[in-house]
Structure 1
Amino acid sequence: MPRFDRIMTTKLPTSLAFAASLLLLACTESHETASRVFTGGVLYTVNEQQPTAEAIAIRGNRIVYVGDSAGIQPYLGPETERIDLQGGTLTPGWIEGHGHFMGLGYNELNLDLSGTKSFQEIVAMVQEATERTPAGEWITGRGWHQSKWTESPGKEVAGFPLHQALSEVSPDHPVFLYHASGHAGFANARAMELAGLLPLGREQLSLSEELEGGEILRDENGNPTGVFNETAMSLIRRHIPANSPERDRQAFELALEACHRHGITGFHDAGIGAKTVELYRQMKNEGKMKIRMYAMLAGSNREFLDEWLEKGPEIDSLLTLRSIKLSCDGALGSRGAWLLEAYSDRPGHFGHETLPMDYVYEVSKKALEKGFQVCSHAIGDRANQEVLDRYQAALEEFPEKSNDHRFRIEHAQHLHPDDIPRFAALGVLPAMQAIHLSSDRPWAIDRLGPKRIKEGAYMWQALLQSGVPIINGTDVPVEPIHPLANFYASITRKTLDGSPEEGYEADQKMTREQALRSYTLDAAYGAFEETMKGSLEVGKVADFVVFDRNIMEIPERELLETKVRMTVLDGEVVYED
């Protein structure tokens, strides 16, 4: 792949430099020279007044010119760095609209199970990990998804395998492996022994029946299978040692590098606690917050949340803390999403309400009063309906706050048809992950059936046409952070292997313009930052990404082969291929 041509203007002898500077001054009039200019490619600005351009100039961390190549001349000075895009395509920096930043980093440190195709493959990976891990230490990982396995795991309970094969290869190591969704986990026998769940006793049996918002899956004899759904995961997680500060910093740096490689300049971190808040502050103070972090405060810890509601938001161009994350149901893959009607493939099961709706209402009122945004995780149609009801009730109580609250629903994956227009009517923003359709749709129809899939699942175009913007993202590490795979899913509604030919429920596809906007300007709007970033306009911050192909014109299959050639944040090149 050709490298960019970086041309520094040649230093002239003093007398000639003086004459040249006078000539340049006369030509530029009121223009200030640029620190960098980018030419030789096509720019997609996401600015309706000027959709495309040929050149961009920046001074420091701000854009000072966007237009044709001829117009760049007055911005050139002796110190201007000129970068030839060599036919590349430049867009605003892409914003991960819903992800888990530290999870991205830790996914590179722990077992990454996202590519596994069978339970047997997972067992083999754990066995290898035991050989390099001291006895007694925990082995953790994430990314498995039973609906994506191509081989049968053998005996199953509720569609999940039993722990015995895993436990046999790891007798001296407690193991806990998170589902790709993060809403379920798989434990081996040693982990369950440490949690007091083995050997089986009456106390442990009754515990699963009384657990609110989750379940321990059990076999016909009442023995735990190893699968812990939703809130039941806490029974195991409380025994996993906390990560060291050094390991947290390592995960942070790995996540940052991954974002830069993929053209991500902004990140909406969907739920962090006090420890991560302090880590992010530390990284910012040390000059290492090389991404625009919009972090949501985890709302499950009431004491932590009350402290923030008391002191108010923190807003900064690199680290903003002004939103609250509430997790209101589970995931569709683990059958934890809260549904109005029972699962098609598990009769009598409706998923889980993982947070009391009265709490959602109370937090929504306090957030309106104190200037916070509420971002509620809701995947199932009942969870979405219940959250919209609580938002509406809170807004009716504070009508003066209803104009620009920008409350969000994270995922909004499955909606009752009657609730689709309510988003625009209430001013609620859906933060959706298009790649979930590509990964989930082949098996999601088993969970919901064809009628619910067609009328209410992944309803991108219906929501856009109702007048509400969509915030796009990957939910990393649930899915890889690869934004172009997400862009591909947005415009094709196909799996990454290109099926079906016309796409699933093709009438809900986004256009390329809509998809690009959902990853840039509309994502910025979802964080109250659209006047600062999200489009290539004079005065906005110089955050952008350069691709090696024209993503707005190439055949759709080529999108998955497109590479990021450069990422620029705050006017500085943070990644170059």
Structure 2
Amino acid sequence: MHIVRFAVTLLFLVFSAPLFAHTTLYHNFTGYTFVEGHGEHAALNRFTTMLVREGKIVATGDSGLFELAPDAERVDLAGRIVLPGLIDAHGHVTGLGQNLSELDLRGLTSRTSAVAQVANYAEANIELPWIIGRGWNQVIWPEQSFPTRQDLDQVLSDRPVWLTRIDGHAGWANSRALEIAGITRDTPSPAGGEIVKDEQGEPTGILIDTAMALVRKHIPAASDEQVMAYQEAAFQQLLSEGITQAHDAGVSKQALLSYQAHAEAGNMIRIHAMLSASDPALESLLAEGPHRTDNHLLQVRSVKIYGDGALGSRGAALLKPYSDDAENSGLLVTPEVEVARLFNLAIEHDFQVNYHAIGDYTNRLALDTFEGIFQAQGTDKTDLRHRIEHAQIIHPNDIPRFKELGITPSMQPTHATSDMNMAEDRLGSTRLAGAYAWRTFLDQGSLVAAGSDFPVELSNPFYGIHAAVTRQDRNNQPVDGWHPEQAMTVAEALRSFTIDAAWAGHYEDVTGSLEPGKFADFIVVDKDPFKIKPSNLWRVKVLSTYIAGQRRYQLQP
């Protein structure tokens, strides 16, 4: 990949109309963007000046642009670094906003501290009929075993408690919540899920994947006003971290209607909405066809289909049993016959398929399903840019099939550094050869669309860029990186969070890079990611965020 230094790129067509006062010239910065395409074909361009008119980029270059627009408003960026607005290719926006308003158990390193946090929260919120939270992770507790309802009963027994695991694929309930849900020793586990029971056959309070719905359906649903507020809170959080666009993985009709209202008001980040395949309104939403709002803030042209669970809760579907649970090969959230029907349904309506696949079984199932559909239709439908979300654990023989079938791996770098303390226990060393394999994908010419899977992981994209480059956590562990042979370069990581993510979301025509004719979605940061030590990439701080040339966030001194 080469760097074009101080290249002046102009869009001459814009000068068919005069440049009015609302033209802005940003200067005195070091800017980076990819140009000339996406993936391995993209070149990295460096520039120091940018001309913006009516929210779109007119030109990038050097001080020569001053003469081009002498009457433009000038904004001095004080020698800072300018990057394209970052794109999270897989997150859950409404869930992030909701998580910000509820009990947060992320990072607590013991069962005792988690229970204490529940007790403190319940005491401070005595008016709440349910205590709802998220973020517990038994893998980072000393005993590494699932908690129980009795743990919660000790501090709260008169109100129901429901705590979602950090990955969103397991829940922890107290006895009152199980009672409300009617879950007893005689309740069978639903297809695609598990009611975990103890040696006496009693439910422990842990529900995995589809079994979570047994409790969730009794929790009061969020109102339309609450969903609007959740999304607004998420937008503010994401803007503060330099994210100008997110691909929302699993959008309900209610959430979509809320997005439409935000888009009409013009007060949101850009959203590539993946319709939830489990929403009862899916077929009617598909019938409306792919579409994008006139202001390019909201796009609907993909469907999120649910494959399996997660590795941490042993719900990821594997070709062979778990190394640390010989009787368990994981769960299929959506039955195979239904997977094929949903793939066909989406493709028939010209919608992109976004299939959640953590385990090697589900990744192979997705590839087999795509291949079968393409052969039956006599076309590969690569124009729809189908994706496998997570593409986390893959049999090495299946990785080349992504390239052959034109399937994009949509991957989350921080999953590797979060999972490294338990992945080998779950999989054994052999299966890690095809796990979190970013370098293998890049070397074969596949495009990697990067994201975080927020709120499963923290949404800060620089945490993802750091993990992609170093294969380390933010304590710089392990010293040499976890399977460092799969690391990305800084340029590749930035590309995966900008133009490559934009392309994977059919948004590269107007976003993803700072090129003439595209929206001026950009961020100003305090450190040059190409010049600092890789170990400090996660420390990059966003100073301001712009969407269509409008400053939507500024760090307060």
* TM-fit CA distance, 1:553: 1.4
TM-score, structure 2 as length reference: 0.93
Match of 2:395 in 1: 416
Unpaired segments ≥5 residues, structure 1: 1-27, 154-158
**Which SS does the other structure have where 1:225 is aligned?**
strand
* TM-fit CA distance, 1:286: 2.6
Counterpart residue type for residue 306 of structure 2: S
Aligned equivalents of 2:420, 2:460: Cα separation in 1? 19
Q: Is the 8 A contact 1:31 1:74 kept in 2?
A: no
Provide Cα deviations, 1:155-190, integer angstroms capped at 9, x if missing partner. xxxx31222121121112101000111000000011
Q: Aligned pair 1:313/2:300, yes or no?
A: no
Aligned equivalents of 1:145, 1:62: Cα separation in 2? 44
Q: Is the 8 A contact 2:266 2:297 kept in 1?
A: no
**Which SS does the other structure have where 1:442 is aligned?**
coil
Provide Cα deviations, 1:459-492, integer angstroms capped at 9, x if missing partner. 0011111111001011000011111111000100
Q: Is the 8 A contact 2:27 2:50 kept in 1?
A: yes
Q: Is the 8 A contact 2:308 2:330 kept in 1?
A: yes
- Which structure: larger Rg? 1
* TM-fit CA distance, 1:134: 3.3
Unpaired segments ≥5 residues, structure 2: 1-14, 36-41
Q: Is the 8 A contact 2:380 2:405 kept in 1?
A: no
**Which SS does the other structure have where 1:117 is aligned?**
coil
Match of 1:57 in 2: 51
Match of 2:548 in 1: 570
Q: 1:145 aligns with which of 137, 152, 159?
A: 137
Aligned equivalents of 1:537, 1:135: Cα separation in 2? 52
TM-score, structure 1 as length reference: 0.89
Q: Is the 8 A contact 1:488 1:556 kept in 2?
A: yes
Q: 1:42 aligns with which of 30, 34, 59?
A: 30
* TM-fit CA distance, 1:244: 2.4
* TM-fit CA distance, 1:30: 8.0
**Which SS does the other structure have where 1:347 is aligned?**
coil
Aligned equivalents of 1:128, 1:197: Cα separation in 2? 27
Counterpart residue type for residue 19 of structure 2: E
**Which SS does the other structure have where 1:87 is aligned?**
strand
Match of 2:81 in 1: 89
Counterpart residue type for residue 397 of structure 1: A
- Summarize the Cα distance change of 1:129–1:284 in structure 2 as closer, same or farther, 3 Å threshold: same
Counterpart residue type for residue 28 of structure 2: G
Q: Is the 8 A contact 1:357 1:390 kept in 2?
A: no
* TM-fit CA distance, 1:136: 6.9
Q: Aligned pair 1:433/2:412, yes or no?
A: yes
**Which SS does the other structure have where 2:449 is aligned?**
coil
Q: Is the 8 A contact 1:368 1:401 kept in 2?
A: no
Aligned equivalents of 2:350, 2:381: Cα separation in 1? 11
Matches within 5 A, 1:470-489: 470-489=448-467
Aligned equivalents of 1:334, 1:324: Cα separation in 2? 25
Aligned equivalents of 1:429, 1:64: Cα separation in 2? 31
Q: Is the 8 A contact 2:159 2:176 kept in 1?
A: yes
Match of 1:326 in 2: 305
* TM-fit CA distance, 1:130: 1.7
Determine what percentage of the aligned residue pairs are the same residue: 40
Q: 1:112 aligns with which of 97, 100, 104?
A: 104
Q: Aligned pair 1:67/2:98, yes or no?
A: no
Match of 2:344 in 1: 365
**Which SS does the other structure have where 2:509 is aligned?**
coil
Counterpart residue type for residue 548 of structure 1: D
* TM-fit CA distance, 1:399: 2.9
Aligned equivalents of 2:444, 2:531: Cα separation in 1? 27
Q: Is the 8 A contact 2:470 2:484 kept in 1?
A: yes
Provide Cα deviations, 1:74-121, integer angstroms capped at 9, x if missing partner. 1231xx332222221111100111000011111110011112111111
Matches within 5 A, 1:286-297: 286-288=265-267, 290-297=268-275
Match of 1:124 in 2: 116
* TM-fit CA distance, 1:146: 0.8
* TM-fit CA distance, 1:258: 0.3
Match of 1:161 in 2: 147
Aligned equivalents of 1:197, 1:133: Cα separation in 2? 26
**Which SS does the other structure have where 1:359 is aligned?**
helix
**Which SS does the other structure have where 1:53 is aligned?**
strand
Moved more, 133-142 or 238-247: 133-142
**Which SS does the other structure have where 1:161 is aligned?**
coil
Counterpart residue type for residue 65 of structure 1: A
* TM-fit CA distance, 1:29: 10
Aligned equivalents of 2:66, 2:457: Cα separation in 1? 40
Q: Is the 8 A contact 1:91 1:546 kept in 2?
A: yes
* TM-fit CA distance, 1:367: 2.2
